[in-house]
Each structure stands twice: as C-alpha cells, then as structure tokens.
Chains A and B, each alone.
Chain A
Amino acid sequence: MSLRGSVAIVGMGETPVGALPDRGSTELSAEAARLALADAGLTKADIDGLITCNPWVEPHLYHAEMFSEYMQIFPRFCMTLNAGGATTLTAVLRAASAIATGVCDTVLMTHGDNPRTGMTGLETLAKMTTTMNPQFELTYGVPLTNGYAMAGRAHMHEYGTKPEHFAQVAASARAHASLNPAAEMREPITVEDVLNSRVVADPLHALDCSLWSDGGAAVVIVAAERARDFPNRPVFFLGCGEAHWHEHLFQARSLTTSAASESAPRAFEMAGVGPADMDFAQVYDCFTPVLLMELEDLGFCAKGEGGPFVENGNIELGGTIPVNTHGGLLSHSHTGHPGSMFALTEAVTQLRGAGEARQVEGAEVGLVHGQGGVLSSHATLILGTEAAL
C-alpha cells in the first residue's frame, strides 16, 4: 500500500506573525484552526483527528488533549508531536497514515506559539538549555547558534563555501518576503547588508539567523476521494520521507551532510518524481548554512555546490528552483516548533495558484522540508495539484 495520492490538504489558516504581545500560544493555535476549518467549509463536528505541537509558551503534558478540550472537539485520533522544526512534516505523514488506514477521516493539524513576546530573555535561555545534552553540552553553555555555526564553518572548509554564499541565502529569502504582505521582514537586503551585520556566532552574522516570532498556522487533511468536494483546489500528498540520525550535534555522523540526504530520496521514491520535477521548494532555513546544505542533500545541486548554486538569483522566483517563496524562517517568521507550518501553508498557497506577486507560474509539484534539533530530525514532503497525480 502506498500513501501516494491517498490524502489531500483541503483547508489552511494562518494567523498574523511577528510580535503579538496580546496573544497566547493556545489561542493562536485556535485561531489558525478556526481559519483552516472556515477555508475548508467544515465545522468542528467534522474533525475526528487532531495533531498538535507542544509550544514553548503554555506547554501541556498532553497538549493535543488539552487543545481538544479547549476547542470542545472530540477526536478519535489525537496526538502531540515534537520533532522540532520537522514536526509539521512528520505530522502530515502521520495524518496521511491514519486516514489511509481508516483510523480517522478528517485531520486538523494546528501549531501555534508565541516565543517572541511570551517569554522573558531568561525564560527563553532556560528553554533553550533543555535542547542540550544536560551533561555533555549544557556544561559548556554553547548555544545552538554556535552549533549551526560550526556546521557552516565545516562546510566552508570542506567545499570552499564563502560567507557571501550564506549571505545570499538571506538576501534571496528577503527578496521573496518583500513580495509577501504577510511576511514579518519585508525591506530588501543585500549580501553586503548581511556581511555588515553583527557577528553573532562566527562565521554567522545576525542576518544569517532566522527571526523569532509569534504566530500559528493550521491545515485540514482528508482522503483524496473526498478532496474535490471542498471550496478550494485540493493539494495532494504525493510522498513523504523522514530520517533521524542524532539529537545532539556532537553525535552527528557528519557536520556537512544531513539526514535530508535520506529523507528526500524516500519522499521522491514514494512520489515517483525527482528534484528536477519540483516547481518550488519550501526548505527549513533557521540559519543560512542549513539551507545550503539541505539544497545539496535534497538533490537540487551536487554535494558541496550549494554556495555557487544560490548565486545569481537561482533560488529566487524565475530561477532554477524558487526556494521559500513566503520568505522562510529568515524573513517571513520563525515561530519555534510550528515554524515549518508556514512552509506547508505556503506550498498549499502556491499549488492553489494563490501566491499573487510571489506566485510560481504554473506550479504543479512542490517540496517542503523541515529540520529539527541541530541538523537532527529531517522530513521531506512532496505535494502536487490534481494534474500531478
């Protein structure tokens, strides 16, 4: 049994993003859910599957159960997932599996968090330390930014990648964000702007790092046979693959090749397509070197050539593969664990042809990739229009 073409996304909702000091994580999830249901033309009584993601602000031991109580919806399939930035994509795979096997019919996936304004600096630092190995990392007080920086530096050493290449990733993300009214940072930036920004963890500059935002997004997933009965153009699940190699960076088998090199072939095999068939890619970009490495590992360019590949607008609209058409975590928003939700809803937007100024002409098939931890959990999703089935 293949999951290819078995389910479709028929509803999506996005809250505003940025600094939302009057909002909480639960209500952001609720607003996103309400918008996604309205978009799908469904009521809460239609939902019998629920997948949430435990936020940093207002976490709950049984978060999905708490959220179903809050919304007074009573699912028969209910789970809280945590694979960091890969959570969204691993959630889609579990939703597809549950629907295809008849466990439930209509899954609501909603993730919201407000780490930007919902926590003090000290609370944020305390939360960050929980991602570290308590004996062998926390002991040295090294933030994950420096972990990603060490991976970036290793890529420079191994492949001749330059800080200018990292900077180009940030500039390209901003170019897309400038076309997206929903993006948090819309003022265009240049490679020089990035290189002139403060060094936060050498070789990474401030503008090599993603935003830190409040916000939430949700989608509704149903069986493909029902997908044409909804108000909006359905977006079909074509393939998904995961790979999990480590949690802590010092246990990584490589600093320059990620588990995306396994998750992507798994997703492409299920979907029956390859990197060259993609019309766009929404790829996890918490720090600029990560995007470079993932472009290589996803197969968009040869290993080690990510740097030159991103030059000359190649990952922008009109380039070989437009990447993060919404602006990505670098310029749209980074809401913590829910961060990849906006990559997913952007893919849905593109495949509906609703991207307006940032629409990829004739987009029929696209890729979404999420990464959690420090290059740890990887999940790749391939989506397509009905024509791609």
Chain B
Amino acid sequence: MSKPIPKPTPETAPFWAGCAEDELRLQHCNNCGHVQFPPRKLCSSCFSEDVTWRTASGRGTVRSWSVVTLPGAPGFEEEVPYIAALVRLEEGPTMLSVLRNCDAEAVDFDMPVSAIFEDRGETKVPYFIPDGA
C-alpha cells in the first residue's frame, strides 16, 4: 500500500500549492497579526476573515521527537524507523513532521531545522532536516 496523499480542501489548497513549489506558506492575519497553521477560513485569534498567505522562512526548532518503529498508517512499512518531530516554526505555529538526514541520537530539544519537500503523488510534503545536514 502506498503512503496517504494529502487531499487539499479549499482552505488548505494554497498551502499544498506552496509545497509543490518547495515553499512553506502560512496565513497571517491582517487585523491582529496572528500567524496560524493549519489553514482556516478565518483568523482563529480574532475571527477576522482578512488573512493573507505569505511564504514562511521554512526554519524552526524541535519541540520534541520520538522514533516511529510501528507505523500508525498503511504505507510506511518500508520507511521505519523514522523520527517523528514536533517543529515550532520561526513564525510561531507548530507542525508535526518527520526529520530527514539525521540520526536519532543527534536530535535535541530546540535543535534548529529547515524544511525540505519530498514528492508524494501529485504534490510534495514538507519534511525537516537539521541545519548543516
């Protein structure tokens, strides 16, 4: 079985369109300045609908991590073991992702990482690599 391919919704399509161009894009609220992820129709902080997509730096830091040995979904059997991580983006929001080019022993809290993009079906999926890797 192949890995699940994310199916964009009208709200998330700009995010995945960004990934396809090797760009991480986040929504910024023009009313209160809040930056949010996942994408929403309205700003979850002030409910303004005046939100703008902007290209993010793609940089973040590791909040926590754990090595996946038993995959939680079909399609990842060949990929284990891999390092699941919660990455706090420079702009504020946290993403769940997977670390590439990295030994599990080398991961640390607040380790700086940067987004890379891997092909998945017709789209691309963001992963993270340690700075300098």
The chain A residues found within 8 Å of chain B, CB to CB, are 122, 125-126, 128-129, 132-147, 149-151, 153-154, 157, 199-204, 248-251, 255
Contact = CB atoms under 8 A, between A and B. Distances in A.
A151 B68 contact: no
Given A250-B96, A255-B86, A153 B74 contact: no
Interface residues of B, number: 36
Interface of B: 3-4, 6-9, 12, 37-38, 63-76, 79, 84-86, 94-98, 104, 109, 120, 125
Contacts of B73: 125, 128-129, 132, 138, 141, 143
11 contacts: A135-B7, A139-B125, A141-B75, A142-B96, A142-B98, A143-B70, A146-B66, A146-B68, A202-B67, A202-B104, A250-B96
Give the residue among A134, A135, A144, A248 with the most B Cβ atoms within 10 A.
A135
Q: Is the interface of A mostly helix, strand, loop or mixed?
A: helix
B74 A122 contact: yes
B6 to A, nearest CB: 4
Given A132-B73, A135-B6, A201 B68 contact: yes
A150 B38 contact: no
Nearest to A138: B4
B48 to A, nearest CB: 20
A137 B96 contact: yes
A209 B90 CA distance: 34
Nearest to A148: B66
B38 A153 contact: no
Contacts of B6: 134-136, 138-139
Contacts of B65: 150, 153
B125 A150 contact: no
Contact of A141 (B76, B85, B104): B76
Contacts of A139: 3-4, 6, 120, 125
Contacts of A202: 66-67, 104
Contact of A199 (B8, B63, B69): B69
B117 to A, nearest CB: 12
A122 B94 CA distance: 30
A139 B4 CA distance: 6
Given A135-B7, A138-B4, A146 B74 contact: no
B71 to A, nearest CB: 5
Contacts of B76: 141
Given A136-B96, A151-B64, A249-B96, A141 B3 contact: yes
A255 B96 contact: no
Contacts of A154: 63-64, 109
B107 to A, nearest CB: 10
B72 A141 contact: yes
A218 to B, nearest CB: 31
Given A136-B96, A139-B120, A149-B66, 19 more contacts: A126-B74, A129-B72, A132-B73, A133-B38, A135-B6, A135-B8, A139-B6, A140-B96, A141-B4, A141-B75, A143-B70, A143-B71, A150-B63, A150-B84, A202-B104, A248-B96, A249-B86, A250-B95, A250-B96
A120 to B, nearest CB: 12
Contacts of A157: 64, 109
B95 A136 contact: yes
> Closest 7 A-B residue pairs measured CB to CB?
A143-B72, A141-B76, A149-B66, A150-B64, A141-B73, A146-B66, A142-B84
